[in-house]
Amino acid sequence: MKSMTGFAQGRFHFKHFSLFISFKSYNNRYLEVSFKGSGISAAVEAMIRDMMKDKLQRGKVEVVFDLFHQGPGQWQVTLNTPLLEDILKRLAPLQEKYGRQGGLPLDALLKLPMVLRLDHDPERLGARDLAALRRVAARVFSAFLASRAQEGAGIQRDLLAGIALIEERIRVLRAGEKECERDAFENYRKKIAKFLKDLPVDEKRIVQEAAISADRSSIAEEANRLQTHARRLKRLLLDRGAATRGKEADFLSQEMLRETHTIAAKTGSLDIHQQILLIRREIEKIRQQVQNVE
C-alpha cells in the first residue's frame, strides 16, 4: 500500500553543472504532475514522466528541477549595446552639469532592465551529461516512492487495527440478534394486550403479527452485510497486486457506515446502539485515512 503523500530531494555536483531536484506529492483525486525550475525542458519533462509511468496512479506531484551550468560555453551572455549607448548619451548632459555625481557606475547600468541578459539552454547538455542526470533523477525518484510506501505501510497497520475492532463489535452485534427479535416479539404482544385488555382476541393472529414485527426489526441482514464489507475491505488492503486501493476503500467505508445507520434505525436496544456508536467511530477513522491512500 502506498500513501499519496511523499517527499524526496537531492543536490548533485558535476564537472560543468550542478543539479537540485525534488519530488513532493499531496492528496488528489487523480494524477496531476507540475514542473518548475531553471532546468525544465521538453526532454527533461519527458524523462521524468517516463520514470513515473506505471509507478504513480493518484496524487498531486510537484517536481522541482533546477540546473545550474558552470562550464565554459554553457551560458549565453547578451549585452544590449545600443540600449546602453543610448542611456549613456542621455546621461551625458547631466554629467556635464553636475560633474561625476551625475553619472552612474557601470555595475548600476548593468542592473538596468534589458541591458544585460544571461541565458542557458538545458538542451545543450551532451549525451553523457544527460545520462548522469537520468541516473541521479531516478535515485531521488526511488527515494520518493520509498517515502510513499513507508507512510502507506503505517496507514495500512492503522486500518487493519480499525477493521479488527469493527469485526469484534460485529460479533457482539450478531450475538444479540436473537435477543432483539425476542424483545420485539414480546413488546408487540404486550402492546396488543394493553390496548385490547379483556376483549376476545385471536392468539394465533397476535403471534403472527408479532412475528412480522420482529422480522421487520431484525438486524441480521444488515449485520451480515456490514461484516461482508469489513472482510472485503481487509482483503483489499492486504492485496499486493492492487495498483490502487483508495477509491474502493472509501466506497466500502461509506457502505459500512450506511449499514450502521440502518441497524440503528431498526432497533431500540441500548446495547446495540452502543456497539453501533463504537463501530461508527472506527469507520470514520478509516474514512479519513483512506483519503490519503493511492
Give the model confidence (pLDDT) of 71-97 as tens digits: 655 556 677 788 778 887 877 787 777
CA distance 101 to 107: 15
Helix residue ranges per DSSP H, 39-80 = 42-52
CATH architecture of 6-72+126-147: 2-Layer Sandwich (3.30)
Among residues 267, 253, 290, which one has the least CA distance to residue 176?
Answer: 267
Per-residue burial over 62-99, b if 16 or more Cβ lie within 10 Å, else e, is ebbbebebeeeebeeeeeeeeebeeeeeeeeeeeeeee
Give the model confidence (pLDDT) of 163-193 as tens digits: 999 999 998 887 766 666 666 666 666 666 6
Give the model confidence (pLDDT) of 144-163 as tens digits: 999 999 999 999 999 999 99
Structure pTM? Answer: 0.69
CA triple 69-75-76, angle to 5 deg: 160
Q: DSSP labels for 230-277?
A: HHHHHHHHH-TT-S--HHHHHHHHHHHHHHHHHHHHH---HHHHHHHH
Let me know: does 152 contact 2? Beta carbons within 8 Å. yes
Cell of 224: 451480515
CA distance 290 to 247: 8
First to last CA, the chain: 8
Residue, of 84 and 207, whose pLDDT is higher? 84
Cell of 136: 541521479
Give the model confidence (pLDDT) of 29-81 as tens digits: 889 999 998 888 888 899 999 999 989 999 999 999 998 876 655 556 677 78
